[in-house]
Amino acid sequence: MNVEKPINRYCPRSGKRVAEDSLTSYRGFIVGFCNTNCRDDFQANITRRPNDTIYFDVVIKELELKTFAQTSEKYDITGS
């Protein structure tokens, strides 16, 4: 079984480890929850779950910044 890795290790609701059967997509990224109930509730109520979306938005921003920093070092776009 080829399951994509979620961008988060811990459930934004419980703080427990993400379960392989509780993944979904958010803004084009694979995100995870600790169980299918949390995942299904998020999917059904995404606009009414600001704490979840804020958590994932922060994780996505950190991932983007890390990727940018790695690219900057690789290509020395700082001009140093």
Q: Which amino acid is at 37?
A: N
pTM tops 0.95, yes or no: no
Digits of tens for pLDDT over the chain (80 positions)? 345 899 999 999 999 999 999 999 999 999 999 999 999 999 999 999 999 999 999 999 999 998 887 776 666 655 55
* Phi, psi dihedrals of residue 6, rounded to the nearest 5°: -75, 160
C-alpha distances in Å from residue 65, one per residue of 16, 18, 42, 61, 78: 25, 23, 26, 6, 15
